[in-house]
Amino acid sequence: MGVLDDYMVSPNVSFLDKTRIQAQVLVPVLRALREELGRDKAHALVRRALRDWSRDLFTDIGASIEGSKRRKWATVQSAYNTVSSPGIEFEMLRHDKEAMDIDVTRCPFSEFFRALGEPELGALLICETDFDIVATGGGAVTLTREQTIMHGAPSCTFRYRFAPRE
């Protein structure tokens, strides 16, 4: 049993397909909100709701994991990679005790949301989650990302830095 099992609805449906299902509901709601409230207010409302949801979700998951802060992050990150990685292509540029640098060069999530014309929603549902996962590490891991495919860049630049082990 994995740390994400209670949150994944069904193990028989891929994470990408689950994201597509979410989008079937969220895209019409987002478009209606834009029409009613204007783009800026609608995006602020949806951003706040989705960011709070994701932050709370990963906080709960991280709290259920025993061990050091870095172990919590590594456990959640590994579980998330398992469900989200099919179709993702990347280059590992560095991986040692101080850092891990990865460039994602293909992302089916960005392909899907860009084709919908909704990369902002894709960034909220998928890309921003990476920072909530890092937060499960309680400061033992940091992430910087200068660019994403979701926003039109040729790659997503993940730059993880690790605090000295506890």
pLDDT digit string, tens, across residues 76-134: 999 899 888 889 999 999 999 999 999 999 999 999 999 999 999 999 889 999 999 99
Q: What's the pLDDT at 13?
A: 80
Q: Has residue 139 got a pLDDT over 70?
A: yes
Evaluate whether the domain defined by 11-162 bears CATH number 3.30.1380: yes
pTM higher than 0.95: no
Q: What's the pLDDT at 1?
A: 47
Taking the CB of residue 158, how many other CB atoms lie within 10 A of it? 20
Instruction: List the domain boundaries for the chain.
Output: 11-162
Measure the CA–CA gap between 89 and 108, rounded to whole angstroms.
9
Q: Has residue 5 got a pLDDT over 60?
A: no
Distance between terminal CA atoms of the chain? 27
